[in-house]
Structure 1
Amino acid sequence: MVVRARDVMTERVVTIWADAPLARAQERMAESRFSALPVVDRRFSLVGVISLVDVLRHRDDPHAVVGDAMTEQVVSVLPTTNVSIVAHRMRVYGELRLVPVVDKGILVGVITRSDLLRHRHSGGRLRRTARRIGGVVPVAPLPEAMAPRGAGRIGGRPTSSLRVADVMTDGGLVAIPPELALDETAEVLLSYRFTAVPVVDDRDHLLGIVSEADLMHGSLDGGRRLRARTVSEVMTRDVEVVHPADPLTDAEDLLSRRGFRVVPVVDDEDVLVGVLSRSDLL
């Protein structure tokens, strides 16, 4: 049976108006833990998409509204679109994590990479295979340290005055072993609503990082990736990292200008000691 966009899309969509203050978009992303929001007009017609990286790039303008920062040329699909086409577009457009579903010009849902992974791995049971540095991670609830902080630690201070250690997440770190099966890795990402998770050895040395995009390639592409079974076969090994004493501006360059979603923080022996995400820069 052909799976359509309407079969996997999320219908209860968090949206925002184009004339809303940019700070409101930031608040809604922090509240909902989404990294992008569809932008609609008063008739619920899709007019754009705003992402967390858009917010970061325009946050120095106190008068900016969503329409100033959003992307207007949006890749959208119909409810009847084959879901394999949606997956293909997400692979082709690497930064794309959200595809709006539009019917007669009206936004009726969205599809994220998480929706695609959830559909493929539905019915699975999350096992205790993710590890917290220093111990096993409980399946629930979400570790407090991994929740988005919004404007918490930066607190309006200029990033030029801060170090990575000032804002990184360093408690309750979640990591996975390289031999973990891809199905179980997908369950970890879905359960904790992560976009990526570090891969470490049994002494917490960073080996790589695996993302939703890596799992999509591993699950949906042809060739070798389709036959991949474990994290080590699909993870990114050549990982950009920062150190606790590095200027925060170094990490900001990776996250907001070069498009990284998560940057691992390691010590001088490449032991994972923290992570930085875009939400940490708000």
Structure 2
Amino acid sequence: MRTGTAQVLTIYLGEADQWHGQPLYVAILQLLREEGCAGATALRAIAGYGASARLHEGHGLRWSSDATVVIQVIDQSARIERLLPRLRTMVRGGLITLHEVEVVQYSLAQPQRLPAHRTVGQVMATKVTAVRPETPVSQVVSMLLQAPFRALPVVDEQRHLLGLITTGDLIRSGALPLRRGLIRTALALDEATAAQMRAPLGQAGQSARTAAEAMNRQVRTVRPEQSLREAARLMAETGLRRLPVVDAEGHLIGMLSRTDLLRAIVSSPLASGDEEKETSGGQVQLASSGAMAPPSLVDYVRREVATVHEETPLAEVLDSLLRSPLKRVVVVDDERHVRGIISDVDVLAHLQAEQRPRFLSLLSRLARGREKEPVPPEGAFHLPGLTAPPRRASDVMNRSVVTVLSSATVQEAIASMMRTGRKVLPVVDDDGRLVGIVGRSDLLRVLLEDDKNAL
């Protein structure tokens, strides 16, 4: 999906080598495919020699009839690291090498159906950070503020899953004043704004509460052998963004996020990486017997979009923004051409220093009461002191808005999200006029289609 580093795993073995009654190279290729590797190639050498070659007097070098087979895999380091122990067991006589490579282009073949047999275990992240029940909440807060993941499983000494702590849980309990993006932005602004954030964080740091007291014990989980479609359906029905993966005895063995499922649709060796720990430990190949046209993005677009004009007063912008379920408003001109997008972080960053404390207090109150009043009535928000700049939508909007054409495929939209890190994308027609908006939860529906309409 994007340029970057990957790893090349190369295996040298003999064509006659066996593994449980079948050629070893076939068994390895099957393993790689079952584990969701982006691709593997097996090459048969026309000549060569290895450690077993011998020079015989008067006859020169006697070539072996057991031709060398070379298997090469280019994939992300996390999956290769996970597979290496099994591959080393299988290759009893041969050579395995590993080195880093720079990928300059990766192009997908024609998308086809997503095989129903693909499982959670092939996509889940296996390197999961967890905490114990006695871990102080202060430590949990510190970890979640600094880490790329947004949830911490709570486990016992045997790694039995006991509960889950998300940033939302910490906000509802009062341990966090706001979501992480706002906190991080506030801490990087002027000293007064940063101090306003440090005060509640300091209180959380002195709290005697433990993870057991803050965790959510009613956790929905999935098993590694369950299909991706089952996991996607559970996420869609519950609105959850991530699911712990447990074995038959309830031991935590991985985490599955909404992003993992989306990346499974577009398959790339660089679709996930160490920089985002809650993302996939693998991708899923799109393959089946018989090609089908890739699903059109237009079928998954939300037509009702919170929009404002470039000249809309900031007070009205805030009212639209804070009532928007996607926490975004799209800025358009008179002909509905997309000019920008606004989030609460954009507003905070552009407000004057004396305006920011009131805005943060408003957001904090809303964050704590969102469960009771998810859609406040129109005009419910009032922020005094907006007579000074910024005064209108164009003053605070993010002009580097990433859009996607309504004629694009679902795969192209997901690829754009993964490449840019955007969670929502305005959808435009060929002339750049707003058609709707699409989020990650909308695109996840592609995994729920029946076989006649699925990938």
Q: Which amino acid aligns with 1:190?
A: M
Q: In the alignment, does 2:211 pair up with 1:66? A: yes
Q: In the alignment, does 2:367 pair up with 1:177? A: no
TM-score normalised to structure 2 length:
0.38
SS of the equivalent of 2:404 reads: coil
Residue equivalent to 2:15:
none
Q: In the alignment, does 2:432 pair up with 1:221? A: no
Residue equivalent to 1:209:
437
Residue equivalent to 2:141:
26
Indicate if the aligned counterparts of 2:265 and 2:411 stay in contact, CA closer than 8 A: no
Indicate if the aligned counterparts of 1:124 and 1:187 stay in contact, CA closer than 8 A: no
1:160-185 deviation per Cα after TM superposition (whole angstroms, max 9, x unaligned): 278698xxx96574431342432121
Q: In the alignment, does 2:155 pair up with 1:43? A: no
- Within a 5 Å distance, the mapping from 1:111-260 to structure 2 comes to 111-123=256-268, 159-160=360-361, 173-179=400-406, 180-199=408-427, 208-222=436-450, 226=453
With over 3 angstroms needed to count, the CA separation of the structure-2 counterparts of 1:5 and 1:207, relative to structure 1, is: same
SS of the equivalent of 1:110 reads: strand
Q: In the alignment, does 2:241 pair up with 1:97? A: yes
Quick one: distance in 2 between partners of 1:17 and 1:174?
A: 41
SS of the equivalent of 2:212 reads: helix
With over 3 angstroms needed to count, the CA separation of the structure-2 counterparts of 1:109 and 1:172, relative to structure 1, is: farther
Cα distance, 1:21 vs structure 2: 3.1
Residue equivalent to 2:223:
78
**Cα RMSD (Å):** 4.0
Indicate if the aligned counterparts of 1:175 and 1:199 stay in contact, CA closer than 8 A: no
Gaps of 5+ in 2: 1-114, 176-202, 272-337, 364-382, 391-395
Q: Which amino acid aligns with 2:245?
A: V
With over 3 angstroms needed to count, the CA separation of the structure-2 counterparts of 1:161 and 1:51, relative to structure 1, is: closer
Quick one: distance in 1 between partners of 2:436 and 2:266?
A: 23
With over 3 angstroms needed to count, the CA separation of the structure-2 counterparts of 1:227 and 1:44, relative to structure 1, is: closer
TM-score normalised to structure 1 length:
0.57
1:87-113 deviation per Cα after TM superposition (whole angstroms, max 9, x unaligned): 11111111x111111122211111111
With over 3 angstroms needed to count, the CA separation of the structure-2 counterparts of 1:75 and 1:161, relative to structure 1, is: closer
Indicate if the aligned counterparts of 2:405 and 2:430 stay in contact, CA closer than 8 A: no
Report the count of equivalent residues: 203
With over 3 angstroms needed to count, the CA separation of the structure-2 counterparts of 1:123 and 1:53, relative to structure 1, is: same
With over 3 angstroms needed to count, the CA separation of the structure-2 counterparts of 1:161 and 1:215, relative to structure 1, is: closer
With over 3 angstroms needed to count, the CA separation of the structure-2 counterparts of 1:205 and 1:11, relative to structure 1, is: same
Worse-matched range after superposition: 29-38 or 102-111? 29-38
Indicate if the aligned counterparts of 2:229 and 2:447 stay in contact, CA closer than 8 A: no
1:251-280 deviation per Cα after TM superposition (whole angstroms, max 9, x unaligned): xxxxxxxxxxxxxxxxxxxxxxxxxxxxxx
Indicate if the aligned counterparts of 2:154 and 2:164 stay in contact, CA closer than 8 A: yes
Quick one: distance in 2 between partners of 1:184 and 1:223?
A: 21
Quick one: distance in 2 between partners of 1:59 and 1:203?
A: 46
Cα distance, 1:14 vs structure 2: 2.3
1:42-65 deviation per Cα after TM superposition (whole angstroms, max 9, x unaligned): 322211111121111123573243
With over 3 angstroms needed to count, the CA separation of the structure-2 counterparts of 1:193 and 1:65, relative to structure 1, is: farther
Structure number with bigger Rg: 2
Cα distance, 1:28 vs structure 2: 2.5
SS of the equivalent of 2:259 reads: helix
With over 3 angstroms needed to count, the CA separation of the structure-2 counterparts of 1:71 and 1:206, relative to structure 1, is: farther
Indicate if the aligned counterparts of 2:404 and 2:425 stay in contact, CA closer than 8 A: no
Cα distance, 1:205 vs structure 2: 7.8
